[in-house]
Chains A and B, each alone.
Chain A
Amino acid sequence: MSKVIVIDDEPFILMMIEDKLKKAALEVVTIRESSTAMEVIRRELPDLVILDWMMPEVSGIDICRMLKQDETLKQIPVFMLTAKGQDADEQLGRQIGVERYITKPFSPKMLLEMVQETLGNDKS
């Protein structure tokens, strides 16, 4: 079973993504406090990380940077959730290795499809 870690400070977003991915038989770990994210990622070694860009404490970009600089974690694909209108930052995200950008509000159904596509590709 593939494991996905979702990090967002908005509880409803976490609940919604967890609900959607679990129904598709994926294992989901959710994190609300971004300061604990790296510790949980190191312990759980997920197949995919979904990150919110804007979080108090540690931002999504910072977590992604740390992840991509870590030899054992850098292969894990990262999805970045951003608010509408942050397109200008997309280039920065790509530079630091963000696999996909998802603009809020996003379609939960399409998010699941993207997750399945990325996880499927990694296994084949």
Chain B
Amino acid sequence: MTSPESDLSLTVQELSHAYEELSLLYRLSEVFSCMSIEDICSRIADEAVTSIGVKTAAVLCMDENADKLLTRTSRGDWDNSREFPRDEEILWKVIQAKKPSAFCRLADTEHRNYLPAHRSLMVCPLIGKTRVVGALVVADKEADEEFFSSDSKLLMAISSQAGLAIENALLYAELESLLVGAIRSLVKALEASSCWTAGHTERVTEYAVGIGKVMGQPDDIVEKLKICALLHDIGKIATPKEILNKNEGLDEAEWTEIQRHPGLGAEILVELKQFKDIILSIKYHHEHWDGQKGLYGLKHEEIPLMARILSVADAYDAMTSDRPYRKMLSQEAAVKEIERCSGTQFDPSVVKAFLVWIRSFSPRRRVSLP
């Protein structure tokens, strides 16, 4: 017979475990609103260590062919370079069974050589909506005890949330690379029609992203800036090849034709509803800060920030590459020209960031200036 006191104590303990799990779920729901797979895995590992109280935790993800598990993030004593090929004991058994398993006193079992550094292990598959995306492994409790069923519940709580979050992040990354891939194909089509613009887009993208980062723009804006820079000259697809590839200076009619490219670019992209601000920045990337010589007469903050950044990046690359009708400038001379036009053609705050970037963050193009 048990006493009422010990009954009560057990009940409190049970409630305490349930409360622990509840608090964990609350924290996880906040964690997994982020989209980066690195952040998600890192938080999973931290939560496993603190809420279960283990010395080691590792988040393993399935590779592309789903035939081995690779470590994404780990805490404690774990060999990050080790791969776990399909059909290996323990880990794959758990994945096939699609439920968690604990392996206590490993040294006394047939698995003694599998992970010899660890006394006991718990493994839970990470299951998304459609497939198994990996496994969460924890080893050796801080208190040197074996794993209890309450630990297994916590591991399952983390794993079920983590599986969905990782699968979402993977899908998101896939979509993103599909988008960027499609954009790069468009750019290739453009560059194929003009021998002089080859590489221009990639370089302008590098400069624009560099400037955006120096200006402390948040990641989502930098990402938009990248797409914007990749597409900034897309309107030139509609410019006659003869003009793009002409070997001498352009006459006025030809200049007028070429100057249509920002507007044409915006028209080409108008169907992409989600790109509204990107399209506007492409349309206005040849505006002048002081409103004097631009194509649309916008000035100062009327010109979108991404367009102002693009303007500097574009001008710098144009000056430092050969054109059919003129020789390229030296990097030093081009930087001086950008500085000279700060406040007239270019936004001074963008020029300031450009100077910081060109002097320190661009090792291949380092310019020695006073």
Contacts and interface: CB of A to CB of B under 8 A. Distances in A.
A32 to B, nearest CB: 15
Interface in A17-65: 19-20
B12 A105 contact: no
Interface stretch (B15-23, B82-90, B103-111, B125-133): B15-23
A15 B12 contact: yes
Nearest to A113: B50
Contacts of A84: 26
A65 B181 CA distance: 61
A107 B9 contact: no
B12 A107 contact: no
A110 interface: yes
- Main SS class of interface, B: helix
Contacts of A108: 16, 19-20
B17 to A, nearest CB: 9
B23 A105 contact: yes
B205 to A, nearest CB: 39
Interface in B1-53: 9, 12-13, 15-16, 19-20, 22-24, 26, 50-51, 53
B19 A19 contact: no
Contact of A110 (B12, B16, B50): B50
17 contacts: A12-B15, A15-B12, A16-B15, A19-B9, A19-B12, A104-B23, A105-B19, A105-B22, A105-B23, A105-B26, A106-B19, A107-B23, A107-B24, A107-B50, A108-B16, A108-B19, A109-B53
Interface of B: 9, 12-13, 15-16, 19-20, 22-24, 26, 50-51, 53
What 8 A-B pairs are tightest by C-beta distance, nearest first? A105-B23, A107-B23, A105-B22, A19-B12, A16-B16, A15-B12, A108-B16, A106-B23
Interface of A: 12, 15-16, 19-20, 84, 104-110
